[in-house]
Amino acid sequence: MGALILSFALASDSVPVASSAPALSEATATLVAVGDIRLDGPVGLAILEGGPQAPTAAVQRWLKGDIVLGNLETAVTERRERAVKLFNFRSHPKGLKALSASGFTVLALANNHVMDFGAKGLKDTLKALDKAGIGRVGAGRDLEEARRPVFVEAGGLKVGLLALTSTQPEFMWAGRGRPGVAYSDFARFPYWIREAKRACDVLVVVFHGGTEKAEVPNEVQRAFGRAAVDAGADIVVGHHPHVVQSVELRGEKPILYSLGNFLFVSPTPSTRLRVIARITLSRRGVRGVDLVPVEIGQDGRLKPARDPADIETVRKALDRDGALSARPDLLRLVVE
């Protein structure tokens, strides 16, 4: 039991703040970040059967924040003309009600599935998000729009969000006059990050890349994360591997290599567990990160992870680089 007390902070009935609490006079904002989201399959069925809040009802307390960010891993369209690739994900526009009801304010689109139904499907997605009143970043009608950061006023701070991806296929990358996603061009993205950082108090960079179902970040993930921080990012939030991966600290700046899935059901057992990151931001950067283990059932409904074996699995995955052990004042695993 002693080890559990040292390793975990047990949640009270109130929504927690990150462990390294800032001074009362310091302006702060809470960013809630999660991984991959699909609104079809079991998640879509849960919405139809239980209403928009059904998939997230059991974890809703952890989704309360000034900015709620996820990766929309699907096209939102009614079109049927698929892109030529192995897997194509499509969600009905009505499914966005589930994200609105859950409090999502910004969705990252820089990934390998938002264009599964082509350029027209992407344009449908952009229109659907605009109609739903949900912000978007990381894709657009051309390269300029795709790589444009989003700025949000929250808690007295101007928070910038920039989303990029290294994933294939290349035909999905935005170009001059060509719709698509924002590709993480290593020759150019440090400049984009420096430019965005100059325009805000704190900058969050979202990265979709890595090797699917790999336990450890690959060389591209690590190279991107470190270069992004060196260019001015205050935190890097990652997804695409579909499993939880480690947190790395570069100075005081966290790189969350993969939060795993969120609203996404996969038949692979290793993808069942995932993490909600509750991040306290200030003008000095990241003041603390609470990492909440959750799981999803084949019914498409999320719930807190409570099995000690599951919690230990998540802890080991997050701490593979030793960051949680080294800095419990900054990075905290929170379980109910």
pTM across the whole model: 0.92
243 strand-pairing partners? none
172 strand-pairing partners? none
Phi, psi of 185 (to 5 degrees): -65, 110
d(CA 183, CA 266): 26
Task: Name the pairing type of β-strands 67-72 and 106-108.
Answer: parallel
pLDDT score of 5: 24
Mean pLDDT of 83-95: 80
First-to-last CA distance in the chain?
15
Tens digits of per-residue pLDDT, 36-62? 999 999 999 999 999 999 999 999 999
Amino acid at 226: R
Task: Name the pairing type of β-strands 253-256 and 235-239.
Answer: parallel
- Going by C-alpha positions, the residue among 47, 38, 24, 116 that lies closest to residue 70 is 38
Q: Which two tokens stand for residue 21?
A: 């609490």
pLDDT at 32 over 90: yes
pLDDT score of 87: 80
Tens digits of per-residue pLDDT, 127-150? 999 999 999 999 999 999 999 999
Q: Which two tokens stand for residue 69?
A: 């960010």
pLDDT at 16 over 70: no
Mean pLDDT of 297-305: 96
Other CB atoms within a 10 A radius of the CB of residue 266 amount to 18
pLDDT at 157 over 70: yes
d(CA 184, CA 236): 13
User: 11-20, 140-149, 210-219 — which is least confidently predicted?
Assistant: 11-20
pLDDT score of 80: 78
pLDDT score of 201: 98
Task: Name the pairing type of β-strands 180-181 and 202-208.
Answer: unpaired
List the domain boundaries for the chain.
27-335
Report percent pLDDT > 90 for the chain: 84
CB neighbour list of residue 31: distance below 8 Å, 6 or more residues apart: 65, 66, 67, 68, 69, 159, 204, 277, 278, 279, 280, 281
Tens digits of per-residue pLDDT, 175-208? 999 999 999 999 999 999 999 999 999 999 999 9
Residues 148/195, Cβ–Cβ less than 8 Å:
no
Mean pLDDT of 167-173: 85
pLDDT score of 90: 83
pLDDT at 13 over 60: no
pLDDT score of 24: 53
* DSSP E strand boundaries for the chain: 9-10, 28-37, 67-72, 75-76, 90-91, 106-108, 135-137, 139-140, 150-154, 157-165, 180-181, 202-208, 235-239, 247-250, 253-256, 273-282, 285-296, 302-304, 331-335
pLDDT at 327 over 70: yes
d(CA 316, CA 148): 35
- The CATH number of domain 27-335, selected from 3.40.50.1970, 3.40.50.1370, 3.60.21.10, 3.40.50.11810: 3.60.21.10
pLDDT at 2 over 70: no
d(CA 174, CA 14): 43
pLDDT at 8 over 50: no
pLDDT score of 139: 97
Burial (CB < 10 A; 0-12, 13-18, 19+), residue 2, is exposed
Average pLDDT, the chain: 91
CB neighbour list of residue 152: distance below 8 Å, 6 or more residues apart: 66, 67, 105, 106, 135, 158, 159, 161
Q: Which two tokens stand for residue 77?
A: 């369209």
CB neighbour list of residue 61: distance below 8 Å, 6 or more residues apart: 15
- CA angle centred on 262, ends 68 and 46, rounded to 5°: 105
